[in-house]
Amino acid sequence: MSKPVVLVVMDGVGWTEKDMGNAVLHAYKPQLDELMSKWPHTTIKASGTAVGLPSDSDMGNSEVGHNALGCGQIYSQGAKLVNESIESGKIYESAAWKDAVSFAKEHNGKMHFLGLLSDGNVHSNISHLIAMLKQTKEEGLKEVRVHILLDGRDVPETSALQYVDQLEEVLASLNDDQYHACIASGGGRMVITMDRYEADWSMVEKGWKIHVMGEGDQYNSAKEAIEALRAEGNYTDQFLPGFVIGKDGQPVGTIDDGDSVILYNFRGDRAVEISKAFDYMNNGFDSFVQEKKPNVYFAGMLQYDGDLKLPEHFLVEPPHITNTMSEFLVNKGIKSFACSETQKFGHVTYFWNGNRSEKFSEELETWVEIPSDIIPFERKPWMKATEITDEMVKAIESGEYQFLRCNYPNGDMVGHTGNYEATLIGVESVDLMLRRIMDACLKMDYTMLVMADHGNSDEMYDKGFNEDGSPKAKTSHSLAVVPFAVFNGPEGTEVKEGDFGLANVAATVVQLLGFEKPEEWLESIIK
């Protein structure tokens, strides 16, 4: 075997020469600059078809990125899976769709759709919702309600009304004497419902009260709610407080006994907790007090956690990822170590292992989670970079592990806030920590691979300007390629010329460890 390997993912750090709003380019980052000039390096693709998304205009994300990093292959992902299922009509042939329709009909109930309302194509796509709404009318359902979570993170930060207007136009075209559909509730994705990794269950509790119970500030329409709340608190979409649509003082769409509920997000991390709230509400659920527990049929767009079988019912089969790097290394007897803070812990474990919550081997795999702070990321842009590094250095210097990996969330999580100055600090914080890991690798003679999973902090400004003349903040990911560098590799290590992506990293790791890659994997990036 060759040297042990340490793999570092700088989440959301794209590599581009675009100047305006590029917090990576303008950050003080001597370590990354050294890696991308003095050591073997290249850039690799982290978006579009390189990570299994429908087209090269689709931004990558951490989930598909870590799937690709961890399995060495390209699988159809998220939006592409759902697109294929809707286009073929297969989604409407699924047992979950048929049962959801039948349950609502048999109980004279309503069909509810809950999810992120945008075309960001990271968690959801409004086109999927519209297709299913049209199908509910074809199926003969009478009452349909939509609970909208506002984005402003994977799309421009104040674009919600664009999607609300589009949805309202579709609903108006469908409604008649036999069919009635309307928006029932909503709120910003970072305030209600879409928490992840159990970082803040109060978000899900707020969503439950708003969507299920109809408890919240009432407005006559979603447009009225958004405009009023923006004027009241100057909120961007992702932070807009929850709201309920009412008529004559009563909510128009509570979730009640005999209703069916479809969560139309396709990405798993921010869908798991609300799925637990529905699937487990009568089975020991205690993450918050559910004052109302309606008897409903609940289904997800996908099964968001294959090990937990959550949710039990789902419309589209997720990619069945096999032959992952973790499984390969376990079969070779290699001990591995994975670490991040809560916000990205699932990425170096669950997504890395092919959407699998459990380890392949308790003996050979060690996972360490650093609890994230529950605080707006721009207020503490260094996040838990120091603590992650402490654990990584300790694990390296123990000499116990042959493969170690970690994720620094700063470039992504702080980048999503749209705060350029804070994001500079986030990027610089990660760079500072790289030096410590580089020094530990030199001390123990380990090879270190440094890369990102997608872009974000490299493109912090959107097109246009605010009324005060300041650049408009961009809170979504970017299409940028990402850096890839090999530090302290075996003598003679060289990067190949070629068109590489995240899925080429797995073969690179096992080559550095002295193994031949599995036939199914893409080729290594190094000679």
Strands 243-247 and 365-370: unpaired
Question: What Cα–Cα distance (Å) separates residue 434 from each residue in 416, 448, 518?
Answer: 22, 10, 30
Tokens 């798993």 map to which residue? 268
Q: What token pair was written down for 513?
A: 């460890």
Strands 403-408 and 461-465: unpaired
Distance, in Å, from the CA atom of 255 to the CA atom of 259, rounded to the nearest integer, reads 6
Specify burial of residue 135 (Cβ count, 10 A radius: 0-12, 13-18, 19+): middle
Task: Please tell me which residue in 62, 159, 260, 372 is annotated as part of the active site.
Answer: 62
Strands 250-251 and 403-408: unpaired
Distance, in Å, from the CA atom of 194 to the CA atom of 190, rounded to the nearest integer, reads 7
**Dihedral (CA of 196, 198, 199, 203) sign:** positive
3-state SS class at 282:
coil
Distance, in Å, from the CA atom of 393 to the CA atom of 308, rounded to the nearest integer, reads 32
| Max Cα-Cα span within the chain | 76
Nearest to 202 by CA among 285, 279, 288: 288
Indicate the DSSP class of residue 212: I
Distance, in Å, from the CA atom of 391 to the CA atom of 389, rounded to the nearest integer, reads 5
H-helix segments, 160-261: 160-174, 201-207, 222-233
Q: Amino acid identity, residue 272?
A: V
Note if 88 is an active site residue. Answer: no
Tokens 């916000």 map to which residue? 343
Active site residues: 62
